[in-house]
């Protein structure tokens, strides 16, 4: 029986209504007729199933054939591809753009999907171009920690030599992160030292860094292109080295220094501090009077970041004038934030960032700002989030904001801002009420970890939107102060928060062209 053609397919009429009725019992003759019909339908179903299987096999054959045709098409189109016509100069620029910000890492990932390895896997032309670009091979990160299965030192050295050869005469950016005995990583250090004339950015994170002083001295007077150096020590180096590291004392282009966990930094590292413009220090221990001593030498400092420092100064120490400092970051306990502020005068400060580990004490920071007569336009402040000190800390934040009328960007991370801080930002039309602080504020980022109500936020922030005025809130008709241009709220509280009041703020902001993001959790 053929079922491929619709005209040849058997059609079975349904049972009559009488036969289908549940109370009907067929006679012997009718039973034979029904059984014959059942047999015919089953046979037809089998034929249909066979045909479906045949067609599915045929469909798979066609799919496979189509894939073959597609691959053939692609292979024929490839020689005509425009990318093949790109001259190596243009392709080189594309490669450099694609690899910007990436570094070559060791041990490398097994899939080799990182730049620049990926570029060499496409075709021989791409591989040739990538190998011709020394810039792609000049940023090297060596993670040389000892762990089971780690590549042997010889493999690391072999990898490093490969990168150094391919980078040719390009300036080198490299980092060595090791927790191994000195003898294990020493060949790597010596290999890098043989190219010290090319060093641009050198980073060393190691245990017992003093064991490498004898090797690093080989770089003395041989780092003409070095612009940045970083040293990170472990707790094993809590005892200061008796021999100072003076390998970088003669580095004419050195302008950035970063240190972590250094005891007695002035003694440990000998550099020409007067030429340093960027200084980062984390977890270092300054001897009594050493903090002001090192600051006094950095007369050209532009950016200073200090985190977790233990600063000891005698009461008679005077504030150090840093005439060019524009960016200051302090992450520390509240008492040490005060210590840091007490000994700095920064008349050109533009960007201030404070992260209080323990409750913030505002007095010395306010004194620094007053003494400096500076006009910062950016402030990032993270409170300690200590609920026991909530009222005093938020009051200090208000004092700090009141001393910074020049701010255009403000990022606050606090608790219960709607109760203590936000009301001071409100624009009110009544002349008898105090003027809003931060008259030039354009961008406001608020992370409130305990936001109880958003009603105050809605009223206050909408009042800071230019040309919005509901008669009570908002600027007056002649108020030319800058309005908010961007609002970013990240709100949370112990219970799952819902802030329907913020729908009004969002509508107002969107209607007045203000970028607004609201997150709550």
User: To which residue do tokens 């206050």 refer?
Assistant: 460
Helices within 343-432 (DSSP H only): 363-372, 390-402, 417-420
Can you give the pLDDT at residue 474? 47
User: To which residue do tokens 């090297």 refer?
Assistant: 140
Query: Helix 455-463 and helix 502-511: axis angle, to 10°?
Result: 20
Can you give the pLDDT at residue 473? 46
Instruction: Supply the pTM of this predicted model.
Output: 0.80
- What one-character DSSP code corresponds to residue 82? G
What averages of pLDDT result for each successive group of 10 residues across the chain (521 residues)?
67 73 77 86 89 93 95 89 87 92 79 76 89 95 68 80 95 88 75 97 85 87 97 70 86 97 88 97 90 94 95 79 98 94 96 97 97 98 93 95 96 93 80 74 94 86 76 49 86 75 88 87 73
Query: Helix 182-193 and helix 153-167: axis angle, to 10°?
Result: 10
SS3 of residue 515 by DSSP = strand
Q: How far is Cα 318 from Cα 381, in angstroms, rounded to an integer?
A: 26
Can you give the pLDDT at residue 310? 83
| Of the candidates 303, 425, 460, 445, the residue with the CA atom closest to the CA atom of residue 380 | 445
């Amino acid at each position: 029986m053929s079922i491929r053609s619709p005209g040849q397919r058997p059609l079975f009429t349904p049972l009559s209504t009488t036969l289908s009725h549940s109370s009907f019992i067929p006679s012997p003759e009718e039973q034979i007729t029904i059984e014959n019909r059942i047999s015919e339908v089953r046979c037809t179903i089998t034929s249909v199933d066979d045909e479906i299987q045949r067609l599915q096999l045929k469909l798979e054959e066609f799919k496979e054939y189509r894939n073959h045709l597609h691959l053939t098409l692609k292979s024929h189109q490839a020689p005509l591809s425009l990318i093949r016509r790109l001259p190596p100069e243009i392709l080189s620029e594309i490669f450099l753009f694609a690899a910007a910000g990436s570094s070559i890492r060791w041990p490398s990932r097994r899939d080799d999907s990182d730049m620049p390895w990926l570029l060499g896997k496409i075709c021989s032309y791409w591989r040739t171009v990538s190998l011709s670009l020394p810039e792609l091979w000049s940023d090297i990160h060596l993670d040389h920690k000892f762990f089971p299965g780690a590549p042997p030192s010889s493999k690391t050295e072999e990898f490093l030599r490969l990168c150094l050869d391919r980078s040719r005469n390009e300036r080198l950016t490299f980092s060595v992160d090791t927790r191994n005995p000195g003898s294990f990583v020493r060949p790597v250090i010596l290999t890098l030292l043989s190219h010290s004339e090319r060093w641009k950015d050198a980073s060393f994170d190691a245990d017992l860094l003093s064991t490498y002083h004898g090797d690093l001295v080989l770089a003395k007077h041989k780092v003409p292109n070095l612009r940045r150096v970083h040293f990170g020590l472990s707790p094993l180096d809590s005892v200061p080295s008796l021999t100072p590291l003076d390998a970088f004392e003669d580095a004419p282009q050195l302008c950035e220094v970063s240190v972590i966990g250094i005891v007695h930094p002035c003694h440990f590292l000998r550099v020409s501090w007067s030429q340093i413009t960027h200084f980062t220090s984390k977890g270092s221990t300054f001897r009594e009077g050493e903090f002001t001593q090192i600051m006094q030498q950095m007369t050209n400092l532009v950016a200073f970041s200090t985190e977790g420092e233990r600063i000891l100064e005698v009461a008679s120490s005077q504030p150090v004038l840093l005439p060019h400092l524009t960016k200051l970051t302090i992450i520390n306990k509240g008492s040490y934030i005060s210590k840091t502020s007490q000994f700095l005068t920064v008349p050109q400060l533009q960007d201030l960032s404070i992260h209080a580990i323990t409750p913030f004490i505002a007095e010395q920071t306010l004194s620094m700002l007053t003494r400096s007569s500076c006009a910062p336009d950016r402030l990032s402040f993270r409170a300690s989030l200590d609920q026991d000190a909530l009222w005093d800390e938020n009051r200090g934040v208000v004092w700090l904001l009141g001393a910074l009328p020049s701010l255009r960007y403000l990022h606050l991370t606090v608790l219960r801002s709607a109760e203590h801080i936000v009301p001071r930002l409100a624009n009110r039309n009544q002349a008898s009420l105090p003027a809003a602080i931060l008259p030039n504020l354009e961008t406001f980022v608020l992370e409130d970890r305990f936001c109880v109500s958003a009603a105050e936020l809605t009223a206050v922030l909408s009042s800071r939107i230019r040309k919005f005025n509901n008669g009570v809130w908002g600027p007056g008709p002649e108020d030319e102060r800058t309005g908010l241009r961007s609002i970013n709220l990240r709100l949370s509280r112990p219970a799952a928060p819902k802030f329907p009041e913020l729908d009004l703020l969002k509508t107002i902001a969107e209607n007045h062209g203000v970028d607004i993001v609201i997150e709550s959790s």
